[in-house]
Structure 1
Amino acid sequence: MLSFRHLAQPTTRWMLTASRRGPLSRTRRARQSEKCTFATVAEDAFRIPIIDFSKYRNASNAAEKEQTAKEVVRGFTDVGFIYLSNHGIPQETVQQVFQKSAEFFSMSNEKKTALAWRDPRANRGFVQVGRERVTQSADAEEIKELREKAPDYKESMEIGRDWDKTYRNYWPEEQDAPGFKRTMTSFFQTCHDLHVLVMRSIALGLRLEESFFDGKIHEQYHNLRLLSYPPIKTELLRGDGQARAGAHSDYGTLTLLFQDSVGGLEVQNPHTGQYQPATPIPGTIVINAGDLLARWSNDVLRSTLHRVVAPPARAINEREGMTPARQSIAFFCNPNQGAEIACLPTCLVPGGQPRYPPVTTEEYIVGRLKATYM
């Protein structure tokens, strides 16, 4: 069982006892003057909160920032996911990225495979349908078997920081995808800037200095993933373990997910093991905590399992249907490449021991990518 208490005074700590992602106690929140208690969300109240981030971005004083920071941390504590509204990224910008992404995936397979993903240390390039099999397993042979039995029915384009001196991005020729590179490099920076603000709110919510994470994420060691889920016959999704993207948690600190209107993302309720939809809400970004943020916070912040399933299909005959195409854009936020991820001082019981040994960002993420793709 997991429970934790957070007092408002800066000198107090999170009180935590836990089994990794195990069943959680019922929600109990009490506010007495300056004391605020966080416990886990009840089974029948498991829902992704919508948080108005303008209250943090436009706050006129520290108290206003802290209020939103508490909401953000509570969302990641209870569910591991939040919807962020009024986040500051214009909808026109998001629509432009979706358009350029669609234009890229409409290119010929020959031109896309010329940009193929090659190296987990780089994590850049085009990934064809069936190449990746996301899962919680870290065993390469087990993942290989899963990939052969139940591949993920999606294709993606992976983009990193474009100024990296060691690993380069694979860009299509300008005539094949006009404006693609310019749009994606600009959006990469836009997403990083929002990531910095959300991490500052998390720092405040964990009773750290607001700038605590700034020097640990400034290298922009991130990954922008464009995702295309082609239409597929329902027959191909009926097998055991089949999905458009299998159940998994993400690797880094945060994931910013931009969805189209089709839907399909589902989040697991850790109390029941059941999945429920993360229905697209116009104008919002779905943000979830990843494994490294969970490790950093000693599991105070939850890295929740999620998957992508097929939305309702259009019947093409009495026994068969066709699912619609789906697009999404994920910005995987990571700490600096060599950053050491060790238990934060405010997330440890006095006299207690961290749940995880220190690990660097590169060690953890490259290890997971090697097992996932190779």
Structure 2
Amino acid sequence: MNNVVTEIPVLDISTSRNADGTFNPEFVAALLDAAHRVGFFQIVGYASRANQDQELLDTVAEFFAKPVEEKIGLDNRNSAQFRGYTRLGTEITRGRADSREQIDYGPDREPLAVVPADKPYLNLQGRNQFPEDFPQLRERAMEWAELMNRTGHELLSAISVGLGLGEDYFDEPFSGTPAWMGKLVHYVGGGIVPEAGNQGVGLHADYGFVTLLLQDQVGGLQVQPYGQDSWIEVPPTPGALVVNLGEMLEVATDGYLMATIHRVIAPPPNVDRYSVPFFYSPRLDAVIDKVELPAELAADARGVSDDPHNPMLASYGANVLKGWLRAHPQTAAIHYPQLIQKRATA
């Protein structure tokens, strides 16, 4: 990389289309540049209702202020879908505990009655766990998911146009039963989880296509663009969402677009940080093939990351289950013992 990246671009998604409904070439060019060169950017102008973002963050904070005895009733160890409440210090990133607790959720559907042995990732379809006595958490989280699905679709369509593809190129993998994921996250001040040190969440890349993050004003998110040793801060920006791309787009574009490595530094002692990441993702059975890029883009494709600790898989379901098994070892041991044993002997 010739130029060191020092800041995160900010794009106004309200300018994404022309009056006739076609994509604005200037917006598409800026989007593709940010996606390729930096791998992270922020968007403003997305179609939220007034105060929807802060209302959700306030609701998340109110939930996590409840006693752990109440939250543990939603324990994700009860869920083969890794849904529900993750206790402090029990999610693992790069072999180390994270300084966070969270609720994981997704499309609320009946689990499949029959799952083929060679497709264990289909077990990830299932029910959410939300508190019955605090219904506003479910209501606001699911309302946010609807907005993020629309926003993610618009961004992926614009990226597709930038790649020389039709704007509906990736629509088929998302048709029917897309397996988006959402998290409601509470990072705790450094030292509460001693084994985590200052790790809010360790360095990692995301599994799916497009990640949209709502973060509060505390800060701590850091990004390491491709080919760069230094980390850069992603500043909290009022009214903005942070966007990055996942492993499915890296696979599809042979690394022209990268699933950029990022991490969160735990907040200072006695400070709480809240965030709501949303992962715009296709069906569990979707398999993403490489696309044919225009020659000028293909020449800048960097290849898919070769990380023995994190092989990237073209099957979305297999890719995401790989990550869940690694991040939630206690839940994995309960619901996927055969896969855990297989990994241990591989």
The aligned counterpart of 1:199 is 156
Q: Which among 106, 112, 121 is matched to residue 71 of structure 2?
A: 112
Deviations 1:151-201 (A, max 9, x none): 21100100111234441101211x3x1422222222111111111111110
Checking the alignment, whether the CA contact within 8 Å between 1:257 and 1:329 is kept in structure 2 is: yes
Structure in which a larger fraction of residues adopt helix? 2
Name the aligned partner's letter for residue 268 of structure 1: Q
Describe how 1:226-305 pairs up with structure 2 within 5 A.
226-233=184-191, 236=194, 239=197, 242-305=198-261
The aligned counterpart of 1:359 is 314
Paired with 2:238 and 2:88, the residues of 1 have a C-alpha distance of 28
Question: Structure 1: which 4+ aligned runs deviate by more than 6 Å?
Answer: none
Paired with 1:232 and 1:271, the residues of 2 have a C-alpha distance of 29
Paired with 1:279 and 1:210, the residues of 2 have a C-alpha distance of 30
Checking the alignment, whether the CA contact within 8 Å between 1:121 and 1:366 is kept in structure 2 is: no
The aligned counterpart of 1:54 is 14
Shift, 1:64, TM fit: 5.2
Paired with 2:195 and 2:241, the residues of 1 have a C-alpha distance of 27
Deviations 1:272-307 (A, max 9, x none): 411121011111100001111111111101211111
CA-atom RMSD in angstroms: 2.6
Name the aligned partner's letter for residue 256 of structure 1: L
The aligned counterpart of 1:329 is 276
SS in 2 for 1:287: strand
Shift, 1:362, TM fit: 0.4
Paired with 2:78 and 2:160, the residues of 1 have a C-alpha distance of 33
Q: Which shows bigger deviation, 269-278 or 115-124?
A: 115-124
The aligned counterpart of 2:308 is none
Q: Runs of 5+ in structure 2 lacking a partner?
A: 113-125, 306-311, 330-346
The aligned counterpart of 2:170 is 213
SS in 1 for 2:60: helix
Higher Cα radius of gyration: 1
Shift, 1:91, TM fit: 4.7
Deviations 1:305-353 (A, max 9, x none): 1111134x4xxxxxxxx24111011001212211111111226859x9x
**How has the CA–CA distance of structure 1 residues 92 and 366 changed in structure 2, closer, same or farther, with 3 Å as cutoff?**
same
Q: Runs of 5+ in structure 1 lacking a partner?
A: 1-23, 27-41, 136-142, 314-321
Name the aligned partner's letter for residue 285 of structure 2: G
TM-score when normalising by structure 1:
0.75
The aligned counterpart of 2:328 is 373
Name the aligned partner's letter for residue 108 of structure 2: D
1:88 and 2:35 are equivalent in the alignment: no
Shift, 1:233, TM fit: 3.8
Q: Which among 134, 138, 142 is matched to residue 181 of structure 1?
A: 138
Shift, 1:217, TM fit: 1.8
SS in 1 for 2:92: coil
The aligned counterpart of 2:87 is 128
Paired-residue identity, %? 26
**How has the CA–CA distance of structure 1 residues 269 and 210 changed in structure 2, closer, same or farther, with 3 Å as cutoff?**
closer
Q: Which shows bigger deviation, 192-201 or 354-363?
A: 354-363
Checking the alignment, whether the CA contact within 8 Å between 1:91 and 1:283 is kept in structure 2 is: no
Paired with 2:196 and 2:172, the residues of 1 have a C-alpha distance of 47
TM-score when normalising by structure 2:
0.81
Aligned residues: 306
Checking the alignment, whether the CA contact within 8 Å between 1:246 and 1:308 is kept in structure 2 is: yes
The aligned counterpart of 1:306 is 262
